[in-house]
């Protein structure tokens, strides 16, 4: 008999984190009949061997190449047999029967088609990255000129975030994070899974926006809670931001009307120039602050590498 749920984890050099995530799945998922599929992206830290030894019931795929997040999930879900499929990051810990709660929520809100829960940092504080707004001209303008940083807790100027909302109520959202995303296997297959042109970042946003065209209206519940360690205090780094801007530009090219695309590119350049101007000023006013000079150097590097992101991933030279 096929399981109700297929849980998929894609790992890469996260041996202990992945093991902890798997342990929490087994410990906290008591009501839902599930299978667990782990694809290891050619880790060099013994992740695959650890999983094989400690968790013999896991369907383990030892990839012979690093397929990335999108490719890894696509490959793993080829083996999925459940009615539902749950994407779960390796740097997560399932709390208080969260997956059972999320499954109950999905059954109570079948029209949503995509469901997510509330993510927390290790100290129990909110990790707001569990969901976010789609990109629009307005929220990208707010981000580009810095309004989303100054007024980040307001719904009007908060950019792609949801302002001061603490993810403490049931709500329809635009994008559910791929770190904890539940959907039907049928929906996944209709959409062809993740679009592989999203080399890094943006794949879940593209998936949710394409799912909307099938009639899905993603929703999240605060009652399903997991720890998600990622991004707790991450600094802006050039490589990450170059890939992030490329992904966002790819989303613009895929989902924005033609007339808005050039404006979107302009707003991305505005974002870079305003950061360079701001950190240049701060470096002069407070020369003892090394982090200002470091951030200035990062944003100048992002500008120099603009040919890598200004036309999305598919337009890289």
Q: Are 161 and 132 in contact (CB under 8 A)?
A: yes
Instruction: State the pLDDT at residue 235.
Output: 55
130: DSSP letter: G
Instruction: State the pLDDT at residue 285.
Output: 86
Of 260, 243, 210, the C-alpha closest to 312 is 243
Of 233, 223, 230, 220, the C-alpha closest to 95 is 223
Tokens representing 189?
């297959």
**Cα angle at 208 between 205 and 214, to 5 degrees?**
150
Instruction: State the pLDDT at residue 314.
Output: 81
| CATH topology assigned to domain 5-133+173-228 | Spore Coat Polysaccharide Biosynthesis Protein SpsA; Chain A (3.90.550)
pLDDT tens per residue, the chain (317 residues)?
Answer: 899 999 999 999 999 999 999 999 999 999 999 999 999 999 999 999 999 999 999 999 999 999 999 999 999 999 999 999 999 999 999 999 999 999 999 999 999 999 999 999 999 999 999 999 999 999 999 999 999 999 989 989 999 999 999 999 999 999 999 999 999 999 999 999 999 999 789 999 999 999 999 999 999 999 999 999 975 444 568 999 999 999 999 999 999 999 999 999 999 999 999 999 999 998 888 877 788 899 999 999 999 999 999 999 987 75
Give the helix ranges, DSSP H, for 152-257: 185-191, 203-212, 238-255
Going by DSSP bridges, is the β-strand pair 114-120/180-184 parallel, antiparallel, or unpaired? antiparallel
User: In the chain, what is the straight-line distance between the N-terminal and C-terminal CA atoms, in Å?
Assistant: 49
Q: How far is CA 164 from the centre of its chain?
A: 20
120: DSSP letter: E
Coil, helix or strand at residue 263: helix
CA 214, 217, 222, 228 dihedral sign is: positive
Domain boundaries, the chain: 5-133+173-228, 238-308
Instruction: State the pLDDT at residue 166.
Output: 95
- pTM for the whole thing? 0.95
Question: CA 196, 201, 206, 209: dihedral to nearest 10 degrees?
Answer: 160
Question: CA 283, 285, 288, 292: dihedral to nearest 10 degrees?
Answer: -30
Of 48, 44, 43, 42, the C-alpha closest to 19 is 48
User: CB neighbours (10 Å) of residue 289?
Assistant: 13
User: CB neighbours (10 Å) of residue 306?
Assistant: 15
Instruction: State the pLDDT at residue 216.
Output: 98
Q: Are 223 and 115 in contact (CB under 8 A)?
A: no
Instruction: State the pLDDT at residue 232.
Output: 46
Residue with tokens 């410990």: 27
Instruction: State the pLDDT at residue 64.
Output: 95
Tokens representing 60?
């383990």
Instruction: State the pLDDT at residue 233.
Output: 41
Instruction: State the pLDDT at residue 279.
Output: 94
């Amino acid at each position: 008999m096929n399981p109700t749920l297929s849980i998929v984890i894609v790992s890469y050099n996260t041996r202990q984190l992945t093991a902890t995530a798997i342990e929490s799945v087994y410990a906290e998922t008591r009501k839902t009949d599930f299978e667990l599929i782990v694809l290891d992206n050619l880790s060099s830290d013994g992740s695959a061997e650890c999983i094989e030894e400690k968790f013999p019931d896991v369907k383990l795929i030892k990839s012979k190449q690093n397929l990335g997040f999108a490719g890894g999930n696509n490959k793993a879900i080829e083996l999925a047999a459940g009615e539902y499929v749950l994407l779960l990051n390796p740097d997560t810990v399932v709390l208080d029967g969260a997956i059972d709660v999320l499954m109950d929520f999905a059954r109570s809100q079948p029209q949503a088609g995509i469901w997510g829960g509330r993510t927390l940092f290790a100290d129990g504080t909110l990790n707001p990255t569990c969901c976010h707004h789609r990109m629009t001209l307005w929220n990208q303008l707010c981000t580009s000129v810095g309004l989303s940083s100054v007024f980040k807790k307001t719904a009007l100027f908060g950019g792609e975030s949801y302002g001061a909302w603490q993810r403490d109520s049931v709500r329809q959202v635009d994008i559910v994070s791929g770190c904890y995303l539940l959907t039907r296997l049928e929906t996944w297959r209709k959409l062809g899974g993740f679009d592989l042109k999203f080399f890094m970042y943006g794949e879940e946003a593209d998936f949710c926006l394409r799912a909307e065209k099938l009639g899905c209206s993603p929703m999240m519940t605060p009652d399903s809670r997991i720890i998600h360690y990622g991004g707790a205090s991450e600094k802006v780094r050039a490589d990450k931001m170059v890939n992030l801007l490329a992904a966002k530009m790819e989303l613009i090219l895929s989902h924005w009307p033609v007339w808005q695309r050039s404006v979107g590119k302009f707003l991305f350049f505005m974002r870079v120039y305003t950061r360079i101007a701001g950190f240049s000023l701060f470096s002069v006013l407070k020369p003892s602050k090394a982090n200002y000079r470091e951030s200035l150097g990062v944003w100048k590097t992002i500008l120099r590498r603009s040919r890598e992101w200004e036309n999305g991933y598919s337009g890289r030279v």
